[in-house]
Amino acid sequence: MFGKGSREEGWGIQVSHVDRKFGKRLVLQDIDFEVKPAEIFGLLGPSGSGKTTLVKLMAGIDRPTSGTVVVGGVQMPRLDMLGKIGYMAQSDALYAELTAKENLDFFASLFGLRGRGRRRRIEEVMELVHLTDSMKKRVSTYSGGMKRRLSLAIAMLHRPRILILDEPTVGIDPALRVSIWNELRDMSQSGTTILVTTHVMDEAEKCHRLGMLRDGRLIAVGTPGELKASTNVTTIEEAFLAFGGVRG
């Protein structure tokens, strides 16, 4: 419908020479990389490195100061693209006074899902994050991990072609973290392009490719293997330090 990509090909993201300034502060500086269709791309970097700012540009809710962000062949930000992108922000962003079901209903209707299909999809995503039993509970009674999972369920609700997750597994127990990663891999195999940010190094290993962000600059891009090999180290953490050291 929109853009050039089809379900089989999947959609890519091209970020070209992007700067983002807030006032005089340069938060992102000459960011240039590509997320290939249907891959899981990880953005790795400490807090304050500009991950969230970069992610918002790709989610189409912010505009770069200079440079372009192209998603599925369409230059962002574009209102009609928002329905094709699933975005989960760092904060859980849920209406605490509502039940999980009511939250899902609200966002599902914003994405134009209705009727039987909506009910089925809500059950599907809640099963995925193991929250089916807590569907009717108020979000204010949820634990931190449950809120994170519900937040993830909402981001996947409308079967987005591109899923952007800002720190998706913070506060989630290891068993569930594994099952969420399995789900992400399944989705990527069926053509969904996934972009995750993380500062957990072992999670970075699970991504197909990684971008390392430090102080608003992209210091390295490649597969976890390539990044380790090119710096002659055995862990991603060491690779990050090595790349950081080169520039710093």
Contact footprint for another protein (CB under 8 A): 59-63, 77-80, 82-83, 85, 87, 89-96, 107, 110-112, 154
User: Rounded to 5 degrees, what are φ and ψ at 137?
Assistant: -85, 150
Tell me whether residue 171 or residue 244 sits nearer to another protein (CB atom): 171
Name the minimum Å distance from CB 73 to another protein: 17
Shortest distance (Å) from residue 52 CB to another protein: 10
Kindly tell me the burial class for residue 24, based on how many C-beta atoms sit within 10 Å of its own C-beta (0-12, 13-18, 19 or more).
Answer: exposed
The minimum distance between CB 89 and another protein, in angstroms, equals: 5
CB closer to another protein out of 60 and 216: 60
Q: Is beta strand 74-75 parallel, antiparallel or unpaired with respect to 66-71?
A: antiparallel
Please say which residue, 32 or 80, places its beta carbon nearer to another protein.
80
Identity of the residue, 139 or 212, whose beta carbon is nearer to another protein in the bound complex: 139
Residue 198's nearest CA partner among 190, 186, 184, 188 is 184
Q: Is the CB of 58 or the CB of 131 nearer to another protein?
A: 58
Containing 175, the helix (H) or strand (E) segment is helix 174-189
Q: How far apart are CA 162 and CA 202, in angstroms?
A: 23
- Copy the structure tokens of residue 109: 């209707």
For 109, left (φ over 0), alpha (ψ -120 to 50), or beta? alpha
CB of 114 to another protein, least distance (A): 14
